[in-house]
Structure 1
Amino acid sequence: MVSHDELSLLRERHPAWRLLRADNAPLIIGFLGRVFVDDNVRAITQVELVSHLDDELYALREQLGERAYPKSATAYVNDWAGPDSGWLRLHYLEGSDEPYVDATPALEKAVAWVASLQERAFVATESRLHTLLGLLRQIVQGSDTDPERRLQLLRAERDRLDAEIARAESGQIDVLDPTGQRDRYQQFASTARELLSDFREVEVKFRALDRQMRETIAGWDGSKGELLDQLLGDRNAIADSDQGRSFQAFYDFLLSAERQDELGELLDEVHHLESIVADDRVRRIDRDWLLAADRTQATVRTLSDQLRRFLDDSVWLENRRVVELLRSIESSSVALRDTRPTLTMELDATRPEVALPFERPLYAPPAQAHIDSTVEAADEAAETTALFTVDHVDQHRLVSQVRAALRHRAQVSLGELVEEHPPEHGLAEVMAWFALDDDGIDLVFDDDSRQQLAWTADDDTQRRADVPTLLYVRHDQDSRPPRTPPSGGSS
């Protein structure tokens, strides 16, 4: 039993308990539970969540008065995602600069506890008893190492199946009554929802490992091999734990095409029964399981991505150090090029000397020579900073310029766009125009004609580029290029 001190600590620090004590608990549990738990949403943009909450607040203020919930929707979302609350998690997905929001396991626990307070049509007891007996039977039979006892159990199961087959052949089929069907359906729906909430908790544990890995890499000053040994050991400890093995077994089960087909057919048959009140969420629970498991696996994949990124950064730094050493050696060689050494040769004697064997001294081990391989740095170090400078071209700005140009025109050429918006990053920005990718815009190349692009660089020099004719066309227009290039920049 939990002690009084532990309960007091949980009451103060656990996010789920803090949520139940919050003044806005009805709004938080009702709104976030409907968005994230009922619809099984694993990631939603912050802008979209704020928009939904704004509609919810408007409806509540119409019902409760203007003074109800005085803050803005953005302020509420930021408060719920803050460290003092811990009910939402703000993060960025790979390749996106827009923040996304996800629910935490604490929110799911609070929502599940509040849902358990509602009165149910009936309490399922028979199905739970059968489930418990089945689990006990699996434990006992699975841990029994006696072959004779295992054979007795298998023969008894075979006799039971033979008897059931005989009754079915004679027309006697045992059918569950409607109460038994609803009983087992309620038990299945409850367990299926609990399984979805377990995925969030497993994902949180993997994210904690990823955060620990990043902190270790950031403060590491030892060798690369020792760091990899430590990181791979932590990763294997998670994968080999009971939780990791159980999740991997469940994920492998879901990935089986045969199991997926069987699960889908069973769900369809169950929801066609007249005694079952269909639940849309339970009807698509197999897809929700796959989505939640894939999100958890994606979190695991970030661990491997973090290791690969660490190795790539290490190789980049080592290559940069090699380049600096080569430049230093070259500078030293140039400085010593004109220094010519004086070659001399000395002879010990003009005639050979005779030495008798017994006059030779005994063997003495040679002294170890000390070699100094240090290379003095050159007076002038090579400047390599410019090699690692990278200009970033904002493609969102280019797409906005194309959309603005197509607002009143059906198509626009690259020459017109460069004339209206001179490149800020030179030829790199010109090449970025050829790689634009947007759902509402088509890129049409005309290799039969050329365009002359002209702009002024940062040093006030005139730049020109001869490129194929490129047109940007809206989707609702014919994407074939015209035979005559448009005016403004074509030649």
Structure 2
Amino acid sequence: MTGTRAEAAYLRALAAFKTPTLDLLHGRYAPFVVSALSLMFSADRPTVAVADAHVEVGEMLDQLRAEGYEDDRRRLPAASGREVCRYWVKVGWLGQQIEGETEVYRLTAHAVRALEIADLTGGGSRVSNSRVRTLLEAVERLAGNADGDPARRLRRLKAERDALDAQIAALESGAADPVPDDELLEEAENVLHLSRGLPADFTRVAESIKAMQRDVIRDLRRDERPTGEVLREYLLRGQQVMQSTREGQAFAGALRLIGDPERIDALTAQLHGLLSRPFAEMLDATQRTELDMIGRRMELGVQEVLTAQRRASHVIAGQVRTHDPARDRQVDELLRDVIAGLQAWTHTRAPETPVEPLRRLPVAHIGHLRQSLGDIRPPGAPAALASQGQDVEFLDADTRAWGGPHYAELEAYVARLGDTFDLGEAFEGAADITRRPVDLLGLLEIAHRGALSSGEGISIVEAVRPDGTARRFAFEAVTAHARKDSE
């Protein structure tokens, strides 16, 4: 029996020392990790931008090395700030998330718990009257609520009422003595002790929600059940994510107590009032700041959990809407191939081996691409259009007036101009019926059948549309030469 109990206790201790909390406190660089995390994160700075964190950790290492700790390899990591932070993420001391468009670090519940145990604030845990009274009152309240005898509960409530009546009477008669400052100081330290556990509690709830989100996505992508059943169940869990975990249910009960803005405002006002009392001067600067930030710490904790809840609901709902088992399996296989490739690459490369960046995507090398199933080119030129010996007849003269160039009239006109003529002058001398804008193009086409040469200067001509409106065109002077028959 003794061996069994010893083995059980030993196994529990082994499991505890495998948690990130104790690994942080007993690690090789534990003093530096605790000091760096306590400096970077505070009640009014729960998240730190990734780039800022890398710079701050690097500056801390440089400062400590400059102070003479450069050769102390057992206490300072020989790495850059970025490498140190990435390692902290890997071992579970820091978490990464996106806030707006910025990637930030946040302490995990394990890291918060480790900082509480290290207790760098100077308010170490010790037995005090206030703390013992808090414990006794909690036990008494628990026993009273669990008591099933109405008579005993009634006697207990009457005794509490008599004690309150005695205090009221003493205050009304002026016989009540003020509470000594030493006792008020003990109660303030007890309040600080209780408040230090809040960040870890809130972070633990948020992390449980994120873990549930990952479980839901993993189960959904496995596609082990009918799609309709999966959709119904996980849509419901996405809408009621807060009630799906034990921590979430506990937080929902606490939210009813501290989620009221008026109560938070009243708490803030009470804390400001306490800091103005004489006993508050006995607290050091860190304790006074911590006491003043209790309300803000509660607000940030509630906001962290609610943000995790909204993000989980959004991710689960999006996965349900875009659920495609075949595509998900392809993505999983692709990621596994990438991870396997990275592992194989790291086994053949030293840490200091430079990595050539991928400057452009690779191009597929195709030996031969079939162009066509057959030759689509015609066997020869198409036959010339047959001439009917007469122009096309138009039912409406206005339609012809707005039509294409008058080739017949223009060809007859060009034949009278001789072997060489200026295109601009020829157009200006043409009849009005052949001086439309399209006839200028027709005249250029006819002249192009021979030879063209550029002249000096610019030719400016005026074309007249069928409705009488004029339009001027400017182009480089062109001289046309008639084509010789021998050519």
The bucket for the TM-score relative to the shorter chain is 0.5 to 0.7
Equivalent residue number for residue 87 of structure 1:
93
Equivalent residue number for residue 272 of structure 2:
268
Contact residue 124 and residue 183 of structure 1 kept, 8 A: no
Amino acid at match of 1:56: M
- Aligned pair partner of 2:221 in 207, 215, 218: 218
Contact residue 210 and residue 302 of structure 1 kept, 8 A: no
- Aligned pair partner of 1:284 in 272, 276, 293: 293
Q: Is 191-200 or 161-170 further displaced after alignment?
A: 161-170
Amino acid at match of 1:312: R
Q: For 1:318-357, what aligned pairs fall within 5 Å after superposition? A: none
Render the CA deviation track for 1:272-305: whole Å, top value 9, x for unaligned. Answer: 1212225212202111111111111111122321
Equivalent residue number for residue 28 of structure 1:
33
Write the distance in 1 (CA, Å) between the matches of 2:34 and 2:278.
Answer: 33
Deviation at 1:261, TM superposition (A): 2.9
Equivalent residue number for residue 167 of structure 1:
170
Deviation at 1:312, TM superposition (A): 3.2
- Aligned pair partner of 2:115 in 111, 114, 121: 111
Write the distance in 1 (CA, Å) between the matches of 2:192 and 2:186.
Answer: 10
Equivalent residue number for residue 324 of structure 1:
none
Amino acid at match of 1:86: G
**Aligned with 1:275: secondary structure?**
helix
Amino acid at match of 2:254: F
Equivalent residue number for residue 70 of structure 1:
78
Contact residue 124 and residue 186 of structure 1 kept, 8 A: no
Deviation at 1:145, TM superposition (A): 4.1
Max Rg structure = 2
Say if 1:137 and 1:89 are closer, same or farther in 2 by CA, change over 3 A: same
Write the distance in 2 (CA, Å) between the matches of 1:187 and 1:128.
Answer: 6
Equivalent residue number for residue 22 of structure 2:
17
Deviation at 1:260, TM superposition (A): 1.8
Deviation at 1:118, TM superposition (A): 6.0
Say if 1:70 and 1:147 are closer, same or farther in 2 by CA, change over 3 A: closer
Contact residue 129 and residue 186 of structure 2 kept, 8 A: yes
Write the distance in 1 (CA, Å) between the matches of 2:294 and 2:317.
Answer: 35
Contact residue 124 and residue 187 of structure 1 kept, 8 A: no
Contact residue 33 and residue 108 of structure 1 kept, 8 A: no
Write the distance in 1 (CA, Å) between the matches of 2:319 and 2:83.
Answer: 37
Amino acid at match of 1:301: R
- Aligned pair partner of 1:307 in 316, 319, 326: 316
Render the CA deviation track for 1:95-134: whole Å, top value 9, x for unaligned. Answer: 52x43211112212222222289685x9342112211221
Write the distance in 1 (CA, Å) between the matches of 2:84 and 2:323.
Answer: 42
Contact residue 268 and residue 295 of structure 2 kept, 8 A: yes
Q: RMSD over aligned Cα, in angstroms?
A: 2.8
Contact residue 15 and residue 86 of structure 1 kept, 8 A: yes
Contact residue 254 and residue 260 of structure 1 kept, 8 A: yes
Equivalent residue number for residue 48 of structure 1:
52
Normalised by the length of structure 2, the TM-score is 0.58
Q: Is 221-230 or 193-202 further displaced after alignment?
A: 221-230
Contact residue 231 and residue 320 of structure 2 kept, 8 A: no
User: Which stretches in structure 1 are left out of the alignment for 5+ residues?
Assistant: 318-491
Amino acid at match of 1:200: T
Normalised by the length of structure 1, the TM-score is 0.57
Contact residue 93 and residue 107 of structure 2 kept, 8 A: yes
